[in-house]
Amino acid sequence: MKNSIKILSLLAIITVSSLLIFSVNKDNKVANEEKNTSEYYQIRALKLPKNLNFAGEAVPVKQEDIRERMDRELLVNTYWQSNGLILIKRAHKYFPIIEPILKKNGIPDDFKYLAVIESGLDNVTSPAGARGFWQIMPATAKESGLEVNDNVDERYNLEKATQAACDYLNKAYKKFGNWTLTAASYNAGMSGISRRLDSQFVDNYYDLLLADETERYLLRIVAVKEILNNPKSYGFIFDNEDLYVLEPTKTIKVDTVITDIALFSKNLGINYKIMKIHNPWLRENKLNNSSRKLYEIKIPLD
C-alpha cells in the first residue's frame, strides 16, 4: 500500500513537472516568435550628455523641442553604425588637414564636424551642384578665388576648399555675431537666415522655425561631434590600426600644359589612378593651363 502511494505521488510530480516544462517551452516559443532578433540584441534609449555645445555656445536642451530634436540626431547617428564607423576612420585621416586651416583663420575647431555632415568627408556632388568635402557651390567657389571648370575644379582640393569655407564663415560671423547662426547660414544662406530672423522677431538659431533640413543641421553637427569625441560610449569599438591614415606625399610644381596626365604619371613612377587619388581637382586626363598658372601636384613620397 505504501509503495502504491509513493508511485502515485511520483506520477503526480512527473505530470505537474511536464505541464510546467510544456508551459515554459510554450512561453519561450511565443517570446522567440515575437522577437525577430537575437535575444542579445538591444537598442537602448540614450541619455543626453550634459554641457552639449557648439563652438562654446550651449545647446538649450531644457527646451522640450530642442531636447527631442537633439535626441533624434544622437539616435540616428548612433544606430547608423556602419556610417558612424566610416566617419570615425575618415576623421582620423582628414582632420589633421582641416584643423590647422580653421585655426589659422580664427574659426572654432567644431566646424570640422560641419564638413563631416556636409559630405561624410568624401568628394561628393549634390543634386544642386555643390561639390567636395565642404559642398561649395560654383559661385561661392569663384568668389573665394577657386578655379572651377571642366578641366580643373579646386573645390576638390581639400586645403583650398577649407580656406574658401573659412572665408565664408568669417563673413557670416561678422554678420550674425555668433557661431550657431553662422553654421546654420552655411546650409540656408546668410540672406535666408536673416529673413527668418527678421520675420519671426527672434535673434538666435534655437528660437527659429526653419525648414526641416536647416532645423536638423546644427544639432546633427553637435551629435556627430559628441559621438566622434566619445566613440566607445556609443558602442563604436576599434583599434588604432583600423583607422585610415593619409599617405605621405611630396609636391611637384607645374606651370605648363600637360597633354596626357596618365603618361605624365607614368613618367613619375605612378599610375593615373594614384595621381587622381591625390589630386582629385584634376578633372580630365590633361591640364590645359593656357595662362601658365602654377599648380601644385601631390604624389606619394615613396
Taking 3-state DSSP, the helix, strand and coil percentages for the chain, each rounded to the nearest 5, stand at 60, 10, 35
Is the same domain home to 160 and 287? no
Residue 57 lies in a domain: yes
Is the same domain home to 98 and 195? yes
Check: CB of residue 43 under 8 Å from CB of residue 78.
no
pLDDT at 5: 45
Residue 59 lies in a domain: yes
Query: Rounded to whole angstroms, what are the CA distances from 283 to 82, 135, 202?
Result: 30, 17, 45
Its domain, for residue 194, covers 53-242
What is the rounded CA–CA span in Å between residue 47 and residue 277? 41
Is the same domain home to 141 and 273? no
Is the same domain home to 253 and 237? no
- Residue type at position 123: N
Check: CB of residue 61 under 8 Å from CB of residue 52.
yes
Residue 83 lies in a domain: yes
Is the same domain home to 176 and 101? yes
What is the rounded CA–CA span in Å between residue 54 and residue 245? 27
Residue 279 lies in a domain: yes
pLDDT at 35: 66
Residue 235 lies in a domain: yes
Is the same domain home to 235 and 100? yes
- What does each of the 302 residues of the chain score in pLDDT, given as a tens digit? 444 544 445 444 444 445 444 444 555 554 455 667 778 788 889 999 999 999 999 999 999 999 999 999 999 999 999 999 999 999 999 999 999 999 999 999 999 999 999 999 999 999 999 999 999 999 999 999 999 999 999 999 999 999 999 999 999 999 999 999 999 999 999 999 999 999 999 999 999 999 999 999 999 999 999 999 999 999 999 999 999 999 999 999 999 999 999 999 999 999 999 999 999 999 999 999 999 999 999 999 98
Is the same domain home to 290 and 257? yes
pLDDT at 33: 56
pLDDT at 21: 46
pLDDT at 1: 47
pLDDT at 86: 98
Q: Number of folded domains in the chain?
A: 2
CATH of the domain at 92: 1.10.530.10
Query: Rounded to whole angstroms, what are the CA distances from 192 to 172, 197, 269?
Result: 12, 9, 50
pLDDT at 302: 82
Is the same domain home to 98 and 196? yes
Residue 3 lies in a domain: no
pLDDT at 7: 46
Element (H, E) at 223: helix 212-229
